[in-house]
Structure 1
Amino acid sequence: MIDVDIAIEIISEKYTPLTADCKIDFKKASNLVHLDKAALIVKEGQLADKLYFIVSGCVRAYYNKDGKEITDWFAFDGDFLSSRNSFYQNELSHCSIELLEQTTFLEITREATEILIDQHHCFERLGRVAITKTMLQLQDRIVSLQFETAQQKYESLLKMRPDILQRVPLTYIASYIGITLETLSRIRNPKNRI
């Protein structure tokens, strides 16, 4: 069974080595949470002051536009996530974050994160590495949205996340790519292409 120590060890191995003292303080400041599929960990319009690290599971962020949900991003095992504008700028969240699978994650408040950054250089480095990874993923997404066809966007997504079709409903994948479910069906089945 996963516990806080194992989750912190995963972070230390995947992102940047954390000192023993940092791991102890990180453990004191965080909680391991297990939630069921469809739970919302952030709701649009609320202040979201927690940062999450997914130990296992799958999450999506979405916006409501004229009563329609628009999927903005997905996060999987080993990813950090938050409502970025809310967490970093202390404003109300523009998006909702929903669990697509039963998910186990480590959660830590913004206040605890800032204390750990002040106390541990390695934790500050962890933040820098995690933010850089997110920034590069966002840059790739912008390039994809601007320059790739729907077919290329779908293929790029499969290349980046080969397991996404087993973990994420097609409706959310179509929304993420910016196409209708019908167009996604045509792309996935070459016999149906016009």
Structure 2
Amino acid sequence: MEKAVSLDEALDLISEKYVKLKPESRAALKECAKIEVLERNTTLVSANQYSKTLMFMVTGALRAYYLKDGKDISDWFAFEHDFICEINSFYLGKPSEHYFETLEKSTIMILPKESILKLCEQYHDIESLARQATTRTMIGLQRRLVSLQFETALQKYNNLLVAYPDITQRVSLGHIASFLGITFETLSRIRNPRNSR
């Protein structure tokens, strides 16, 4: 049986990967945070629901997707040490346009929006953490926009492998193709160029 990840271990990761948290900040985060272990294919957020939580991926993988004319389109992946939230709900107070689901058994630290906003006002290092998490997400979105607009299918796929070398072992090829904005057949040709001759 796997050992459960504690809040302290999750906060250690945040201190290591983002901002060194002071003892009082850690204690404040620990008061409002909770750890959830979710099985594969668990839906955390559904379209038209409100989601007012910030999530930190301790272990596992998650994807954000939306349904367009009955078609499932992957829009974002989150892996270990990523922060993720439903942006429309969290920042704008609007219903989610996305579904969030786990792709593997995942351990996630959940932080309520109200608590985070309050702690950002009280603790400089938590404000810095929130800024870093937001900045990384914005940079990821910017890269994604550039990729979708200007890169060939092969470039998109190769850049995804550079960012996430083990993604093809963790995410289905169908989800990867839809994330890249290409067909499954195109992705198959890119992965097996000899078979496409």
TM-score, normalised on structure 1?
0.98
C-alpha distance after superposition, 1:80-111 (max 9, x if no partner): 00111111111100100010000001001101
Matched, 1:128 2:131: yes
Matched, 1:183 2:186: yes
User: How far apart in 2 are the matches of 1:121 and 1:112?
Assistant: 14
Of residues 26, 30, 33, the one that matches 2:29 is 26
1:58 maps to which residue? 61
Secondary structure at the residue paired with 1:59? strand
Secondary structure at the residue paired with 2:136? helix
1:168 maps to which residue? 171
Residue 193 of structure 1 and its aligned partner are, at CA, apart by 3.4
User: How far apart in 1 are the matches of 2:132 and 2:26?
Assistant: 17
2:16 maps to which residue? 13
Sequence identity percentage: 47
2:113 maps to which residue? 110
Letter in 2 for 1:37: R
Q: Which runs of 4+ in 1 moved over 2 A?
A: none
User: How far apart in 2 are the matches of 1:95 and 1:31?
Assistant: 23
Residue 118 of structure 1 and its aligned partner are, at CA, apart by 1.4
Secondary structure at the residue paired with 2:186? helix
Letter in 2 for 1:159: V
Q: How many residues align?
A: 194
Unaligned regions of 5+ residues in structure 2, if any?
none
1:94 maps to which residue? 97
Unaligned regions of 5+ residues in structure 1, if any?
none
